[in-house]
Every structure is written in C-alpha cells, then in structure tokens.
Amino acid sequence: MTVWLTGLVALPSAIWVAGILKWLGESGRKSVEYAEASTAVVVVARNEERTIVDCLDSIAKQSTPAKEIVLMDDYSTDKTVELAIEVARVCANMRVVHMVDGIARVSPKKRALSAAFELTSSDRVALTDADCAVTAEWLQSLSAELDSETGAVIGASWPCKPTTFSERIYRWERLIANTLMASACGWGSPASACGHSILYKREALKKVDAPVRRDLPSGDDDLTVQAVAKAGYKVCFCAKPESVVTDLGGLRGSRWSQAARHQSVTHLYPIQWRLLFAATIISNLLSIFLLLLLPAFDAPTIPSVAILLKTCLEATAGRLLARKLRLEISVLEIFLASFVLPFWVIWRAAASIFGKSFDWRGRKMKTSRHAVSA
C-alpha cells in the first residue's frame, strides 16, 4: 500500500525531474553551426504601447546584430505603431509592417507570423513578444544551441520583480511552465513552448509550413515546435542564462482566460505528453485529496511521505532550472511554487475542458474546438 500510494503520487514528478536532469546533461555540448548565418527577428504586436520601445530597443542592441527586424502590427488601436516607427527611424535594419484588412480571422497572430516568414529571407528566424525585453546576448546564446540536427531552440522568459501577491503567483506559474518545457526537451520531444523566445532554422519553418494549424486560434508556438520535431529535427531548450527574456507584460486578463487559451490545443499534443499530463493531473488530484483527508488517516505518515516526496521532487526540478538559468527566486519561493502546483494543474485542466472562449488582446476568441466569434 505504501509503495503503491507513494508511486502513484510521486511518479509523474519523478519523470519531470528526470527530464530536467537529462536536459542539464545535454547542455553545453553543442557547437555553433553556421557562424555566418543571418538571422531575422520577428515581433507581432497588438496594443503594446507600454512595452514596445523597450522591446525593440533591446532587439536592436544585440551583440550579434540581426540582419532583419520586423514588427508586424496586428491592428493596434493605441500608439504602438507610432512608437515603433520612431525606433525604426534610427535602426536601418528594422521595419514596421501593417496587417491589411480587419476581417476577423481564426488566428490573427498566426496570419501575422505567416506574413512575416514570407517577408524575411534570413537563414534563421527568432521570435519574441512585444511585451518582452531581451538581453544583449539573446540571439548569440540561442544560436549557440544550433547544430546540423536542431531545427528550433526554445528559450525561457521570466517576469519582472513582483510587487503584488498576484504577480508573485504569476512568477511561480512561469517557473513551473519553464520547468515543464525544459524537461520535455530533455526527454527529446518538445511539449509546450512560449513565443517569448524561440529561434527557428528557416528550412524547418518551410518544411512544416509554419505556423502550423492556422485553422486554430492558439498553438502558434507549441504546435509549431512539435511539428518541427515530428519533421525529424531536434528541438532544445536553451540552458544559457543570457537567453532568458524579461516578461514585461505579466499576466494579461483573467487567469481562467489565460488557461483556456494555453490549454485549448493540448488535445493535439503527442500521445506521450497527453498521457504524462493526464498522470500528472491524477497525481495532483490525489495529493490534494490526501492533504484534505490527512487527519482522518489512522496512519497519516504514509500519505504525508507521499505528498512530501512529490513536493520535494518538484522543488528540485524548479531549483535545478532556476540555478542553471540564474533566475531571481529564492529556495523558499520554489517550495511554495511546488506547493501551489497541484492547484495550478487542476485549474488548467478544468480550463481545457470547460473554457469555450478566451480574451486575447481585446478580442473574444473561441477555443480550438469551436468556431471563432466576430
């Protein structure tokens, strides 16, 4: 009973930790390929006047300059375009492109990305979001992960120092998300990805006709890196601290809407990740159940050990990633994030089932199982 219960609760966490260890073991083994290869940076923006200048300035100041910087304006109604044009005036390799016609699309961002991929001609294409700021070594650190077999490199993002409790929770969520991305890549098959920081080989983009699944309103990042992997390329998670971008935007809108958007395409993930995510959900449900019923057990030591082992495994994964990427977070916060993890997982699972729509940049979008609303 003890072994069975402990294994059921802790096994998924152990698998995620093993992925992190494999990721750490692989980091630093690659040599830079195509040292003279050109790189384009693409940013899709919609109503990002608060952060667009910081974003574009950081891209323009790369230690290894990009050949092309393209800002795709997705029908902004604020001062995003005006501010971007001001930056572009002093940056010869930067241009601002307006998307034409305002007809509702299933995925306006995928449409903008598709147009940007056609407009650029560089050997590699890097993506970041308009509410992020990158380090001066961002492109160089991502490029150092490329070799002849690698088609895409995913980078981490990290929020600014929190000032409110909600921002602190969001920080814990980002730690968990980064850990899961790194672990999956450690196992050799990407699961989720974040558009805050991705570098693609153009040949990989062309082979999968990226961004994939333009009939769906979400999944422009994760479904595309999964398609790149399925096409025979490796996808890695960058282990260099210089690759971490700063998330200036933080949590946008309600957490439910965010979860519904992110989870709307998980049913299309590779089968191994759907099974592991399902096992993780069961594990977290069971741990919450055991925690609530702990006083009713005649021998509470057994469930306590199972919960403690699970929490320690998850904290270990978070700590290993935070130390490798030099993320500014204390060990105490990592343990708190691990304690919050079961509730976070259940919340996102519920959103994937019951979330029929989500708000995105002022648009009301239906999830992938429903038609887009006007």
150-154 and 357-360 as β-strands: parallel, antiparallel, unpaired?
Answer: unpaired
pLDDT in tens, 248-259: 987 666 666 776
- The beta strands (E) that lie in 74-143 are given as 94-98, 124-129, 132-133
282-340 pLDDT, tens digit each: 898 888 888 777 776 666 677 788 888 899 999 999 999 999 999 999 999 998 888 77
Around Cβ 126, how many Cβ atoms within 10 Å? 25
DSSP designation for 41: E
Tokens read off for 66: 């990009």
Same domain, yes or no: 236 and 283? no
Q: For residues 32 and 17, state if they share a domain.
A: no
Residue 126 placed within a domain: yes
Residues 6+ away with beta carbon under 8 Å from 48: 55, 76, 78, 80, 130, 131, 249
- Examine the domain organization and report whether 184 and 56 are in the same domain: yes
Indicate whether 262 belongs to any domain. no
175 falls in which pLDDT band (50, 70, 90)? very high
For tokens 């998670």, the residue is 237
Q: What is the pLDDT of residues 121-164, one digit of tens each?
A: 999 999 999 999 999 999 999 999 999 999 999 999 999 988 88
Together in a domain, 242 and 119: yes
pLDDT of residue 372: 40
- Regarding whether 153 and 38 lie in a shared domain, the answer is yes
pLDDT at 360 over 80: no
Phi, psi of 42 (to 5 degrees): -115, 135
pLDDT > 60? residue 34: no
Same domain, 316 and 246: no
Q: Residue 355 domain-assigned?
A: yes
The predicted pLDDT at position 370 comes to: 45
* Radius of gyration in angstroms for the set of CA atoms belonging to the chain, rounded to a whole number: 21
186: CATH: 3.90.550.10
Cα-to-chain-centroid distance, residue 80: 24
pLDDT band at 374 (very low <50, low <70, confident <90, very high): very low
**Inside any domain, residue 303:** yes
Q: What is the dihedral of CA 270, 273, 279, 284, to 10 degrees?
A: -130
Measure the CA dihedral 161/44/354/16, to 10°.
-60
Angstrom distance (rounded) from CA 355 to CA 217: 13
Distance of CA 355 to the CA centre of its chain: 20
| Distance separating alpha carbons of residues 156 and 195, to the nearest angstrom | 10
- What whole-number distance in Å separates Cα of residue 10 and Cα of residue 196? 31
Residue 310 lies in a domain: yes
Give the mean pLDDT of the chain: 87
Please give the Cα distance from 89 to 95 (Å, whole number).
9
Rounded CA separation 213/266 (Å): 13
Range of the domain at 53: 28-257
Does a structural domain hold residue 264?
no
Lowest mean pLDDT among 38-42, 80-84, 227-231, 309-313: 309-313
Residue at a domain's end among 257, 289, 305: 257
* Residue 374: inside a domain: no
Give a yes or no: residue 371 inside a domain: no
- And the tokens for 236? 């890695």
Give the number of domains in the chain. Answer: 2
pLDDT higher for 135 or 169? 135
| H or E stretch at 198 | strand 198-201
pLDDT: which is higher, 32 or 110: 110
Counting DSSP H helices and E strands in the chain, the numbers are 12, 12
Question: Can you tell me which residue has the tokens 């509410």?
Answer: 131
Is residue 66 located within the same domain as residue 201? yes
Does residue 114 register a pLDDT over 60? Answer: yes
Whose tokens are 């290894």? That residue is 64
Statement to judge: residues 320 and 191 lie in one domain: no
Q: Is the pLDDT of residue 356 over 50?
A: yes
| End-of-domain residue from the set 200, 234, 257 | 257
Q: State yes or no: pLDDT of 373 exceeds 50.
A: no
Residue 35 has pLDDT above 60, yes or no: no
Asked if 285 and 228 sit in the same domain, the reply is no
pLDDT, tens digit (0-9, with 9 covering 90-100), for 199-223: 999 999 999 999 999 888 888 999 9
Is 117 in the same domain as 243? yes
Do 156 and 182 belong to one domain?
yes
In angstroms, rounded to a whole number, what is the distance separating the alpha carbons of residues 155 and 182?
9
Q: Is the domain of 246 the same as that of 112?
A: yes
| Domain end (from 222, 257, 292) | 257
The three-state secondary structure class of 363 is strand
pLDDT bracket for residue 37 (50, 70, 90): confident
Give 308 or 60, the one with higher predicted confidence.
60
Is pLDDT of 50 > 80? yes
